[in-house]
C-alpha cells in the first residue's frame, strides 16, 4: 500500500487517505462491518486536518478546541471486503463560523463504496460549547469570514 500524498492545500478537493481492510474490520463473512466505515472516515478527517498543520491533540492542548461530529449521513453503495485497498476522500463543502460540512467518499479503485456527508462542530475543550474555528485554521482552509 502506498502512503498518502502530501496535500499542501487542504482546501483543494479531495484529500485522499489510503486504508487497507483488516480482519478486525470485517464480520464473520469477511465483509466490512458497517461501524468500521465510521473509523475509516474519522481517520481520513484527522489526517486531512494534520495535513493542514493541525494535529487534534495539539489543538485541544494549545488552542482549547476539539471537533465533534454533529451530524452524519451515510449511503452504503457496495461492500468492502477483507484485504481490500481503499481510498478515503475528504472534501469541504462549506464552512461556518463554528462548523464544517464535509463530503467523504470511500472507493476501491474506481468503484464508489460509500458516500458520506459529515457536519463537524468546533467546541471548547472545557465545556463542549460551540466556538469559532481557530483563525489560523479558517485562514488555511480559505474560509475566513464565512458567516454562521
pLDDT digits (tens, 9 = 90+) for 87-105: 999 999 999 999 999 999 9
Please report the pLDDT score of residue 109 as a whole number: 97
* pTM for the structure as a whole: 0.84
Q: What is the mean pLDDT of residues 51-64?
A: 88
Domains of the chain, each with CATH number or no CATH: 15-140 (3.10.129.10)
Give the cell for residue 52: 493542514
Please report the pLDDT score of residue 2 as a whole number: 40
CA dihedral 111, 76, 106, 46 (to 10 degrees): 180
Q: What is the mean pLDDT of residues 112-141?
A: 92
Please report the pLDDT score of residue 142 as a whole number: 64
Q: Tell whether the model's pLDDT for residue 80 goes beyond 70.
A: yes
Within 10 A of 70 (CB to CB), how many other CB atoms are there? 16
Q: What is the mean pLDDT of residues 16-37?
A: 96
Residues 6 or more apart in contact with residue 88 via CB below 8 angstroms: 16, 17, 18, 19, 40, 41, 43, 44, 104, 105, 106
The DSSP output letter for 84 is -
Q: Tell whether the model's pLDDT for residue 76 goes beyond 90.
A: yes
Q: Please, which pLDDT band fits residue 1 given cuts at 50, 70 and 90?
A: very low
Within 10 A of 58 (CB to CB), how many other CB atoms are there? 11
Catalytic positions, written as ranges: 27
Amino acid at each position: 500500500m502506498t502512503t498518502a500524498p502530501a496535500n499542501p492545500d487542504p482546501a483543494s478537493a479531495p484529500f485522499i487517505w489510503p486504508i487497507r481492510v483488516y480482519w478486525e474490520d470485517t464480520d464473520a463473512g469477511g465483509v466490512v462491518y458497517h461501524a468500521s466505515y465510521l473509523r475509516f472516515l474519522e481517520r481520513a478527517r484527522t489526517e486531512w486536518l494534520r495535513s493542514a498543520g493541525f494535529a487534534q491533540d495539539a489543538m485541544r492542548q494549545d488552542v482549547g478546541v476539539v471537533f465533534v461530529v454533529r451530524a452524519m449521513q451515510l449511503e452504503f453503495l457496495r461492500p468492502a471486503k477483507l484485504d481490500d485497498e481503499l481510498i478515503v476522500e475528504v472534501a469541504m463543502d462549506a464552512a461556518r463560523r463554528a462548523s464544517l460540512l464535509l463530503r467523504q467518499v470511500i472507493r476501491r479503485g474506481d468503484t464508489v463504496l460509500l458516500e458520506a456527508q459529515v457536519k463537524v462542530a468546533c467546541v471548547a475543550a472545557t465545556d463542549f460549547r460551540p466556538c469559532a474555528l481557530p483563525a489560523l485554521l479558517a485562514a488555511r482552509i480559505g474560509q475566513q469570514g464565512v458567516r454562521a
